[in-house]
Amino acid sequence: MTPVGPAMKPILSDLPSAFSLLTRIPMPAHPHSGAASAWAWPLVGLVIGGFAAVLLWLGGLLSLPPGIQAAAALALMAMLTGGLHEDGLADTADGLFGGRDPERRLEIMKDSHIGSFGTLALVLVTLASWSALTSLIGSGRAMPALLIAAAISRAPMAMIMAVLPAARKNGISATSGRPAIATALLAVVLALTLTFSLGGLAASPVLLAVLLVTVPLALSARARIGGQTGDILGASQQLAFAAALAVLA
């Protein structure tokens, strides 16, 4: 058996670590690299989007209505991640808009209960994703769009995690460490490579849409809680995903 070279060892560690951190997909035993695996997060999104795309293909074979196909695809993606990002979106909305000071906002975000802001955010953003995906299914362009949105929406998580400090000393974001800027930039490059490979230059507006929803979120998090948390990262993914689908639709 050919020994694994030194250059391959980080890759073989980072890939399963990325899947273990962001999904419920079983992985073989491996050393966990935490935030160092952030460069691979767009690949995780691509795989999740791939599973959903297969479901859309099956739905098309069964001639299911576009709305049912879109709902099933979104449900599958949430199941594969354990609702990680959806939970982050709801907690972020409750915390950033429901507290009067950073400590109270972080306390609200840690609470497992969902409030009115969180409910509204979850319903409206999911509805936006569903509406865009339904439109894409009707036009026959859903599969590449789904892959693009799933991949590029994971890049802002890496960048926000790299540029903002952890707002609390515990939690997923803090315990995973902080990726180097180079690691986050590699995630961005990988996400853009996948985006343009699947959608060509016509997919360029997707990048602008993702920036328009995630940059204000990052600035708000820095101003209102002093940094980022796992919930903020999850919210960035959900907003970027919905924005990307909307532009592609």
Instruction: Tell me the per-residue pLDDT of 97-141, one tens digit each, with 9 for 90 and over.
Output: 988 899 999 999 998 899 999 999 999 999 999 999 999 999 999
Q: Is 102 exposed, middle or buried (0-12, 13-18, 19+ CB in 10 A)?
A: middle
DSSP letter, residue 63: T
**pLDDT number for residue 237:** 98
Q: What is the mean pLDDT of residues 187-215?
A: 95
Reply yes or no on whether the pLDDT at 1 is more than 60. no
d(CA 189, CA 169): 29
Phi-psi region of 65 (alpha: psi -120 to 50; beta: other; left: phi over 0): beta
Q: Is this model's pTM higher than 0.75 or not?
A: yes
Backbone phi, then psi, for 29, in 5-degree steps? -60, 135
